[in-house]
Amino acid sequence: MQIITSIQDLRAWRKAAGVVAFVPTMGNLHDGHLALVTEAKKHAEKIVVSIFVNRLQFGQGEDFMSYPRTLDVDAEKLQAAGVDVLFAPNEMELYPHVSQHYNVEPPNIQNELCGVFRPGHFRGVATVVTKLFNIVKPDVACFGKKDYQQLAVIRGFVEDLNMDIKIVGVDTGRAADGLALSSRNGYLSEAERAQAPQLYQALTQMAAQIRSGRQDYAKLEQQAVKTLTEQAWVVDYVEVRNTHDLQVAHAGDAHVVIVAAARLGNTRLIDNLEIHLEG
């Protein structure tokens, strides 16, 4: 595996690389990230994984400075997984003017759900992913469905900006007890980690009721929030949206997703569960 840190060197490698699949990450890799690599191998001859902790997608008071940076360990994992190139630019390489003068501005969905609590986050995501796409020039890019709103934003700008890139959503990796794999799980105390699967349990209970025919989504959302709050969670939202564009779901929608974000102690966790009602 090659470790490339400059845009110039990555572009030189890309010229002779053939079909390329790309997995952008912020590092501190876990099995969920490696599942993205496994999926990427189904689509391309060469695999590029980037590691870059993107300042633009962190808000004031968030964990940019403390976000785990484990490049050496990550590189070992990627080499074992058969990755061809690890692209690991520093901040000056990707943002040579320090501030980013031109940004990719998503539509109003960026101000809903997680966007309410993380203003500017999805602009930062869309901007850095666009930059990485322009550098790597992948044929395919793989993203985890755990960050469902992020995936919707990326699919949206790829379509609207006529980028010739196939976006592949990969099912959320989970621990044995159902907790969605996340780099931020490492922030949980031992007691919080034992409690953390309650978020996924709340979603599965909602999903079971929806599959049984209930479509009073607002009441189901309120009940889930009440249950989690009684279990000492601080809930940002639990909502049912359609899977196409993440607009509010209505009775009769065939494909919906329950999306949720809640805090356990000082750690904010997100999760979601797709439900397909056709047939």
Domain boundaries, the chain: 2-170, 183-271
At 120 the three-state DSSP class reads coil
- Annotated binding-site residue? 266: no
User: Is 32 annotated as a binding-site member?
Assistant: yes
Rounded to an integer, what distance in angstroms lies between the CA atom of residue 165 and that of residue 213?
37
182 marked as binding residue? yes
Q: Phi first, then psi: what are they for 216, rounded to 5°? A: -85, 75
Contacts of 28 (CB under 8 A, 6+ apart): 67, 68, 69, 70, 74, 183, 186
Q: What is the dihedral of CA 69, 273, 37, 17, to 10 degrees?
A: -110
Per residue in 156-214, pLDDT tens? 999 999 999 999 999 999 999 999 999 999 999 999 999 999 999 999 999 999 999 99
Residue 183 labeled ligand binder:
yes
Residue whose tokens read 């785990």: 68
Is 144 one of the annotated binding-site residues?
A: yes
pLDDT at 279: 55
Q: Which two tokens stand for residue 182?
A: 């996340």
Residue ranges of the chain whose pLDDT lies below 50: none
Residues 160-197 as b or e (16 or more Cβ within 10 Å = b): eeebebebbbbebbbbeeebbbbbebebbeeebbebbb
Residue with tokens 């060197």: 9
Residue 98's pLDDT is 86
Q: How far apart are CA 126 and CA 120, in angstroms?
A: 10
Query: What is the structure's pLDDT at 278?
Result: 76
Considering the candidates 33, 121, 244, 276, report the single residue annotated as catalytic: 33
Using alpha carbons, select from 224, 215, 213 the residue that is nearest to residue 272.
Answer: 224
CATH of domain 183-271: 3.30.1300.10
Answer yes or no: same fold for 2-170 and 183-271: no
Token digits of residue 156: 């949206």
CA-CA distance, 159 to 23, in Å (whole number)? 18
Helix axes 217-230 and 198-211, enclosed angle (nearest 10): 160
Q: Is 33 a catalytic residue?
A: yes
**pLDDT tens digits for 142-153?**
999 999 999 999
The reply, when asked if residue 252 is annotated as ligand binding, is: no
For 118-175, strand residue ranges (E) read 140-144, 166-170
Question: 3-class SS at 25?
Answer: strand
CATH 3.40.50.620 fits 2-170, yes or no: yes
Question: Please, which residues have CB within 8 angstroms of residue 129's CB and are 6 or more apart in sequence?
Answer: 24, 154
**pTM confidence score:** 0.95
- Tokens encoding 55: 């300042």
